[in-house]
Amino acid sequence: MFIDASHPLVMTRICFVSETGRAERPIQDPSVRYRCLHPAEARTAHGDFSTIYSAVQFYTDPAFDYDVYVFHRPNSARGNFFPVMLQLRKLGKTLIADYDDLIFGDDAIALQSSAVKNGTLTPERATAAFENNLVALREFDMVTVSTAPLAERVRDFHPGAEVHVVPNIVPPSVLAVHADLHTHLTPRPSTSIGYFAGTKSHNRDFPVVADALHRVLVENADFTLMIVGPVAVPPELTGLPNVSTAPVVNFLRLPGLMTLCNTVIAPLEMSDFNACKSRVKFLEAALSGSRLLASPIPDMRAVGSDRLGLMETPDDWYEALSAPVSQVDYAPLARENFEYLRESSRVDGLASFWGGE
């Protein structure tokens, strides 16, 4: 490889800091994987050095010898937040806030969050959390987000910020494993349906499709539904003989489990909060080779209706679920969707958003 001596290669040192509940092992948090680990892999392929900390770890013993700091979901209530920010600015470091959910804003936005609707947070605690996150957001001149609607929310509340949309991706290392295994071409029953919920935050989303699912499963005894994760399911569904449930699984095991399903569903209650969510469910379905039926949030629309089914009404859900696609017929699209993942994971495009040129 020829290296021009007049333009020496310079390694950028990047520190990712995430406000995650997995303080000791942040990589176990799916959000950390998508917003920290995957871009860190891109930066490493770009020739740089990256480290990932939980916020608990970093603010307890901050490191000041990196060039770029990416703060995933920063929270101004975190102890030592302001002194650390002040010291990093004095040292001339590049500071970036990163978001993959609408977790900042006024009381109206806080009260429509999934945490309030599902009872995870009281309205009082939610409004305080959104305010603390908003204060933190305004500490940063540069912001990266996972979707275009989320970028608009940042601009609404922090008009002076430089904002970049950095979509979630499946990294080349994961794609290479499943390309070798031909995971996306694994045979599976055409009448198998799967719903994969990582957290309880989807308790208000599942009812979007519950009635249509119940009708399809009652009318078609050979259809099956597998529900994975801690979502609340109506007893009239769980009582059916063709419905099974399982606990949430590790990210690395998810594609293999999804190969049991011809169709994967991603219902979401339509709201300003959910409109900011990303295409992660499409990425997971495409990696496993499953057909995805999803609520039409903007980031799913951006993927395109030629790659997934966008369900506008309850009738759309019923008709699509009632008409399974055979493995043979779906195989060409499974291949195309896998190539879409490969193209969108190109590190030369992703790397520049975190401190590269």
List the domains of the chain with CATH numbers.
Answer: 13-166 (3.40.50), 172-343 (3.40.50.2000)
Q: How confident is the model at residue 289 (pLDDT cuts 50, 70, 90)?
A: very high
Sign of CA dihedral 26, 29, 35, 37: positive
- Closest among 227, 226, 234 to 192, alpha carbons compared: 226
| Cα distance between the two ends of the chain | 20
Q: In degrees, to the nearest 5, what angle opens at C-alpha 67 toward C-alphas 61 and 73?
A: 60
Write the CB contacts of 240 (distance below 8 Å, at least 6 apart in sequence).
214, 217, 218, 225
Looking at residue 4, its pLDDT comes to 33
Question: What pLDDT shows up at residue 9?
Answer: 54
User: For residues 322 and 229, which has the higher predicted lDDT (pLDDT)?
Assistant: 322
DSSP assignment letter at 251: G
SS3 185: helix
| CB 55 within 8 Å of CB 78 | yes
Q: What confidence tens digit (pLDDT) does each residue in 153-170 have?
A: 999 999 999 999 999 999
Give the closest residue to 307 by CA, choosing from 322, 323, 292.
Answer: 292
In this predicted model, which residue has the larger pLDDT, 113 or 194?
Answer: 194
Give the three-class secondary structure for 16.
Answer: strand
- Given phi > 0 = left and psi -120 to 50 = alpha, else beta, which region is 208? alpha
Mean pLDDT of 25-36: 90
Q: What is the pLDDT of residue 261?
A: 97
Residues 230 and 232: their CA atoms lie apart, in Å, by: 7
Place of tokens 């957001």: 137
What pLDDT sits at residue 220?
97
pTM: 0.91
Q: CA 158 to CA 74: how far, in whole Å?
A: 14
> How distant, in Å, are the alpha carbons of 26, 73, 86, 120, 138 from that of 78?
16, 11, 14, 20, 15
Query: For the residues 342-348, what does the mean pLDDT come to?
Result: 77
Whole-number Å distance between alpha carbons of 13 and 240: 54
In the predicted model, what is the mean pLDDT of residues 257-269? 96
Are 263 and 207 contacting, i.e. CB atoms less than 8 angstroms apart?
no
CA angle 178, 350, 151 (to 5 degrees): 115
pLDDT at 7 over 50: no
- Contact in structure between 227 and 192 (CB atoms under 8 Å): no
> Amino acid identity of 187?
P
Considering all CA atoms of the chain, what is the largest pairwise distance in Å, rounded to the nearest integer? Answer: 71
3-class secondary structure, 196:
strand
Token pair belonging to 232: 């609340």
With beta carbons less than 8 A apart as the criterion, state whether 34 and 280 touch. Answer: yes
Q: Which residue has the tokens 């590790």?
A: 250
Quickly count: other Cβ atoms within 10 Å of residue 235's Cβ. Answer: 7
Helix (H, G, I), strand (E, B) or coil at 154: helix
Confidence category of residue 356, pLDDT binned at 50, 70, 90: very low
